[in-house]
Amino acid sequence: MNMKGLVVALALSCVIILGGGNAEAGKIPPGGATATLLAPALAGGGLGSAIGPGGVLYVTEPGAGKIWSVDPKTGARTLFASGLPKSIIGLGGVMDVAFIGKTAYALVTLVGPQPQVPFPGGNPNDVVGIYRVDGPNSFTVIANIGAFSMSHPPNTPFFVPSGLQYALEPYRGGFLVTDGHHNRVLKVGLDGSVTQLIQFGDIVPTGLAVSGNTVYMAEAGPLPHEPQDGKVVSFETKTPTPSTVASGGRLLVDVEFGRGRDLFALAQGVWSGGPNDAGSPAQPNTGSLLKVNSDGTFTHITDGLNQPTSLEFIGNTAYVVTLRGEIWKIDDVSGPPHGE
């Protein structure tokens, strides 16, 4: 088995961030609320997103080490930052982006040298962690998450010592970070401090949303990603004991608040891989935008999304980024429900 295959087979969470070659670009989802293709695919794929100053959408391109700003009305892209570490083995690189005030920060993973898992072709000076964007091609590492992870290993089985960080969420002047491989959430300060907030079993934590001191988190679930394992959970930052908010989503990758504080989840869809296919994403065009109901269930708002990875809201409009780097605009998400 080559190095890429070895990492994929053992990284537990890689299923949600590897692109599928048979995905159909530009296919309008067949059911649910109105969905339109706002921006076409990127050569280096897509993954994380954020709403930045002025209500502009920002999207990462991990295969190119870039972050793009996107006009949410027209879909016009402008290169915001380039020169960040690129994905080396088909996953990793710049995973997510977030803002504190007007300053952007990027989450980078699976780069640089470390024991057990060399990443051939990468820059030995690259750091797994959070990078402050100082200019169009200028960055400062403000937190070395990889070093923390290697010196503080998780309580669950792992292969990549530095972990595989997935999502970045601002919290009280710093950040919360999910690690889908080490199965935990980290608290990171702008002073470079890194602490473990909560450790899970093999549940594959992905996207985050915060309301006050309450954290909402999506769980993709372990292989084979059964629907009952796709959950949104919540916990308090001071006493982090998780409780289930809703379950039944297929391979959940994000959770966000919409207008009126309605909570939504993003499901990548139906996973059909076998025991040796841990690197496979969901089947094309099986993803869904889901609304969280008070009884712990989900209502399907839009189905047929093509391998989505992240979700943002501006007013009553949802913006979905896909593995290919497409951006889908879904209007009126609080309208009448569409199926179950």
State how far the Cα of 64 lies from the Cα of 47, in Å rounded to an integer: 12
Sheet holding 93-100, edge to edge: 93-100, 103-109, 129-135, 138-144
Return the SS3 of 217: strand
Number of other CB atoms surrounding residue 196 within 10 Å: 17
The Cα–Cα gap between 214 and 192 comes to 23
| pLDDT score, position 304 | 94
Q: Average of pLDDT values for 136-155?
A: 97
- 250-259, 261-270, 277-286, 292-301: least confident range: 277-286
Convert the pLDDT of each residue in 28-85 to its tens digit.
Answer: 445 568 789 999 999 999 999 999 999 999 999 999 999 999 999 999 999 999 999 9
What confidence category does residue 8 fall into, taking pLDDT thresholds of 50, 70 and 90?
Answer: very low
H or E element in which residue 275 lies = none
Residue 257: is it exposed, middle or buried by C-beta count within 10 angstroms (0-12/13-18/19+)? Answer: middle
* Residue of 191 and 23 predicted with greater confidence: 191
Q: Which of 106, 88, 45 shows the shortest CA–CA distance to 281? A: 45
Q: Is 318 helix (H, G, I), strand (E, B) or coil?
A: strand
Q: Residue 221: left (phi > 0), alpha (psi -120 to 50), or beta?
A: left
Q: How far apart are CA 246 and CA 294, in angstroms?
A: 8
Tell me the per-residue pLDDT of 292-320, one tens digit each, with 9 for 90 and over: 999 999 999 999 999 999 999 999 999 99
The per-residue b/e assignment along 45-83, b for 16 or more CB within 10 angstroms, e otherwise, is: bbbbbbbbeeebbbbbbbbbbbbbbbebeebebeebbee
What was the pLDDT predicted at 280? 73
Could you report the per-residue pLDDT of 84-93, keeping only the tens digit for each?
999 988 889 9
Give the span between the Cα atoms of 277 and 48, in whole angstroms: 23
* Domain coordinates in residue numbering, the chain: 3-25+45-258
pTM of the complete model:
0.91
Please report which confidence band the pLDDT of residue 117 belongs to, taking 50, 70 and 90 as the band edges.
Answer: low
Q: Which CATH architecture has domain 3-25+45-258?
A: 6 Propeller (2.120)
pLDDT higher than 90, residue 11: no
